[in-house]
Chain A
């Protein structure tokens, strides 16, 4: 859905995403980093049980809420860091 512009050279960081070590671009928010790799689903809505993706990217909509280092946080407001533990709890849903 998104690609990184050629002139950006953000070094990758290694995080634990949903239990697996994953390399993601650094120097941006967790939400942006996941979107840049095509991982668009941020959470399963507890109310509708349907997948959600970040909508506002400015801390308003809460569609990007995920567990980051043990605390539920807005992924668009948190900078991705080496070693972060990120859990989206997507259950059996598959991402394409």
Chain B
């Protein structure tokens, strides 16, 4: 098998699928790697095998994945499933593990389309068995046709929380309560964003339908709740919170948490991409130009990983990166690239009209004052919020130093589950901004793999690779 590609795409969600299809259609030699067994990413997970009932329930927003995958399957892009990328560098080298064998390939361009994850938010008891992400329940429905069977509480904030609630209601799941941490009244800033959003009546209608489903169900729905906690011994027994000044408690078997979605940035950080902090949404994202090019000439960021804007935007951004790469490879001249890009940019613009409104309504609360000292922050190493606060009180000011002192972020998840809250806590304690306390350093392998696998790796590239004499002439 050849190990050189014009372009390698990491991630087969809407962004990666669109980018890969377009590049292959332009005639490039494309490789797509995704650690999941099937294409589709998070939103279109398992859509190829979805039953008619699931397709019906999830609606057009899910079914769209079928068209995308069909186009991808028709293209000449080479796809490897179950392929976990654990090392990449900006010179185009990629190492990945598949069926317990690791391999290195080289690509002229790397398109990182690794998507987003749910924002991990440490509340007391969030590590109890029976507490899960709302997105996790969504994944189980798509992947395995599973529906929660006992009493469920949904808690947190964000449109995906309400989407999951409305899906569960339609399936007849017993929901004890929906506990939103979102304020009762949106901030005055919301008004400015309302006008552009009004131009997308289709979007607003969808949102209203969701809210109506929840209202009609009569399920207890509190807003502006605080002091959310999961209580239990070896598994979840009860969910508690403070709503309208009173403590409320609900017996439950399953607590689904959701606090919005943030970009997955490990690969960008590994490659030394310049990162920027979005102060309103409180997440880091890679800096890139309007085609998705990062500070590295040949590395592109696309989809939700480059900033969370949803599945359609992910697809459009994938197309744009593909056109630019097609241009850089000398397949299309710049005027053709721009002409092809123009309708895509228009769709991207229109898709984004309601986004600032939604982002503003569900903007995460700043700071970390509501995290409690006893709460486990780092699951892997069992480090509490209090342990981190203590380290900061002793003078540590950077998240990487806190990591050394407390082991927070040192486990197998490499800080994916604790990193964002860790930074909030360090910043709040040190009375500074999240941007000032650094980002956890990411090292290969991105996910633990057996040492033997690395030792046996085929390293076919070595020193015999050809010099790329035209590299600087391709702009």
Contact = CB atoms under 8 A, between A and B. Distances in A.
B158 to A, nearest CB: 16
A93 B234 contact: yes
Interface in A45-82: 45, 47-48, 50-63, 65, 71-72, 74, 77, 79
Contacts of B412: 62, 65
B140 A60 contact: no
Interface residues of A, number: 42
B143 A28 contact: yes
Nearest to B118: A56
B266 to A, nearest CB: 10
B379 A52 contact: yes
Contact of A57 (B136, B234, B413): B136
Contacts of A74: 447
Contacts of A5: 51, 53-54, 141, 145-147
Contact of B129 (A41, A47, A77): A41
Contacts of B144: 4, 8, 10, 25, 27-29, 32-33, 36
A47 B412 CA distance: 12
A40 interface: yes
Q: Is the interface of A mostly helix, strand, loop or mixed?
A: loop
Interface string B436-453: 000000000001101000
A9 to B, nearest CB: 9
B253 interface: yes
Nearest to A25: B144
Given A40-B235, A55-B132, A3 B379 contact: no
- B contact residues, range: 35 or more
Nearest to A8: B145
Contacts of B234: 50-51, 93
B130 A53 contact: yes
A77 B380 contact: no
B330 interface: no
Contacts of B139: 57-58
Contacts of A41: 129
Nearest to B46: A28
B333 interface: no
A56 B411 contact: no
B27 interface: no
A71 B452 CA distance: 11
Contacts of B127: 48, 50, 52, 55, 63
Interface stretch (B34-42, B302-310, B311-319, B422-430): B34-42
Contact of A61 (B52, B143, B417): B417
B416 A60 contact: yes
B156 interface: no
A57 B130 contact: no
A59 B35 contact: yes
A5 B146 CA distance: 6
A63 B379 contact: yes
B168 to A, nearest CB: 12
B154 interface: no
A2 B117 contact: no
A3 B417 contact: no
A57 B133 contact: yes
A61 to B, nearest CB: 5
Given A1-B253, A59-B447, A61-B120, 4 more contacts: A36-B144, A45-B382, A51-B129, A60-B413
30 contacts: A1-B149, A3-B149, A5-B51, A5-B147, A7-B52, A10-B145, A25-B144, A27-B144, A32-B146, A45-B382, A47-B381, A47-B411, A48-B376, A51-B234, A52-B129, A52-B379, A53-B130, A53-B132, A54-B136, A55-B133, A56-B118, A56-B135, A58-B117, A58-B135, A58-B136, A60-B264, A61-B379, A62-B379, A71-B100, A77-B36
Interface of B: 35-37, 42, 49, 51-54, 84, 100, 117-118, 120, 127, 129-133, 135-136, 139-141, 143-150, 234-235, 253-254, 264, 376, 379-382, 411-413, 416-417, 447-448, 450
